[in-house]
Amino acid sequence: MTHASSRLFLFLGAFFFVALPALASQADDRLARGRYLANGVGRCFWCHSPLNDGDPATPRPETLGTGDVLDPETPVVAPNLTPDAETGLGRWSETEVVRAIREGVGRDGRALRGDHPSAYYSVMTDEDALAVVAYLRSLRPVRRSLPRSTPAKSRTETVQPPTSPAKATSIRTPLERGRYLVQLGECLGCHTTTTRQGTPFRELAFGGGRRFRLEKGFGFEYAPDPSFTPSAKLASPDETKLVASANITQDPSGIAFYTEGVFLQTIRTGRVAGVRALSSAMPWVFFKEMTDDDLKAVFAYLSTVPGVRHRVNNTEPPTYCPLCGRRHGLGELNAPVQR
Ligand code: HEC
Ligand code: HEC
Ligand SMILES: [Zn+2]
């Protein structure tokens, strides 16, 4: 062996022993990050998987990511995300999948229905979006053909407007990370009501009152909510089955009584302070997969949002609320808004 070729040999040896394992472990990290986001704060399989009949309902592992019919009438269908070439994402490029997730644009360039919460995912960093795609590609490809959703007539206004992706460098402190996770987790969207016209109630941000009905483990927004007038008595015959989102601000009418420990306990157990069971219209069963550090960051950020005076309680019978215009427990105790 000449001197030069032995050097090359050493170099290649070093590459195989040092660089390749390093690359492989980078790929492992990316996959783990994608799995964490998709199954946790991103809650992809709440929609994109058949759920079991449990309470809380959880995705069936053997059909994970194979899509599901959310509403058979419209229909609204969350497509198969496994790498199957015919019925899943097998032929999609990485860029196409990222665009669908963050921008709500289908492979054919058409807008996806707002049921896919792209406005919330729009903030996802490039690294995180690619991690989710890498994870989806690691799913077992399953051939499962589903009908397509009926395209939405228009884009519905989301409480949280779409943003440009965050940069990894801008989500380093716990508060920054908490804000990022709250954005990805759609906390603002579910915990903020809208006016009769569907415009988000900015003054009631995180103040709760939005109503959901739970069906087959999935929390559908009860929309358009026909409350809005005190005389609209029982707005629907099964009103008792509706659950209003909670006020998660630090106002005394909200979760001022929460400590960080209570917050972690609530999300992890699906019981407020370990006691009252939360409806699974609140996707705690996914959020409970988040790390302690991430949940603490979420709580830290939530503690900085302005308090909203709005009493909402799901253990009391619904009454008309002059503040948010809906019927929910303790509604009658809220002061009308000056408009
Ligand atoms: C609340 C339900 C819901 C959640 C949560 C959700 N999606 Fe979707 N998603 C949908 C629906 C419904 C569609 C189809 C919309 C349409 O066809 O107009 C869709 C479409 C998509 C598409 C386009 C697929 C295709 O064949 O056109 C991709 C990719 C996708 N979602 C990925 C994800 C990922 C990744 C996550 C988690 C980070 C996620 N979704 C979370 C409901 C959801
Ligand atoms: C799909 C809608 C939805 C999303 C997304 C959502 N929530 Fe909720 N949340 C609800 C509903 C509905 C309730 C009320 C459940 C009940 O009272 O049984 C609730 C209740 C809660 C409670 C319990 C408050 C109490 O003590 O009564 C907390 C805390 C909470 N949510 C925090 C969050 C956080 C943090 C996020 C984002 C990471 C989030 N939620 C995202 C719908 C949602
Ligand atoms: Zn209200």
What's the distance, Cα to Cα, between the start and end of the chain in Å? 87
The verdict on the CB of residue 128 being under 6 Å from ligand 1 is: no
Residue 327 has pLDDT above 50, yes or no: yes
Tokens of 336: 């009308």
List the alpha helices (DSSP H) in 155-259. 174-184, 187-190
Residue 9 pLDDT: 63
| Separation of CA 304 and ligand 2 centre (Å) | 17
**Domain limits of the chain?**
23-155, 171-339
DSSP helix/strand/coil, 25? helix
| Separation of CA 293 and ligand 3 centre (Å) | 32
The better pLDDT of the pair 240, 27 is held by: 27
The verdict on the CB of residue 80 being under 6 Å from ligand 2 is: no
Q: Tell me which residue has its CA closest to atom 41 in ligand 2.
A: 187
CA distance 245 to 94: 35
Q: Which of 7-11, 47-51, 84-88, 275-279 has the lowest mean pLDDT?
A: 7-11
CA distance 328 to 189: 18
Partners of residue 215 on adjacent β-strands = 218
Give 40-49 pLDDT, tens digit per residue. Answer: 999 999 999 9
The verdict on the CB of residue 297 being under 6 Å from ligand 2 is: no
Strands in the chain per DSSP E: 68-71, 76-78, 211-215, 218-221, 242-244, 271-272, 276-277, 318-320, 327-329
Residue 290 pLDDT: 98
Q: What percent of the chain has pLDDT over 90?
A: 75
**Polymer length in residues for the chain:** 339
- Cis check: omega of the bond before 56, within 30 degrees of 0: yes
Partners of residue 50 on adjacent β-strands = none
**Most confidently predicted of 54-58, 153-157, 312-316:** 312-316
H or E segment to which residue 135 belongs = helix 126-137
Q: Please state the separation of Cα 177 from the chain's center in Å.
A: 16
Q: How confident is the model at residue 214 (pLDDT cuts 50, 70, 90)?
A: confident
| Separation of CA 328 and ligand 3 centre (Å) | 6
H or E segment to which residue 46 belongs = helix 44-47
- Amino acid at residue number 252: P
DSSP helix/strand/coil, 55? coil
Evaluate whether 206 touches 321 at the Cβ level (below 8 Å): no
Average pLDDT over residues 79-102: 98
Whole-structure pTM value: 0.94
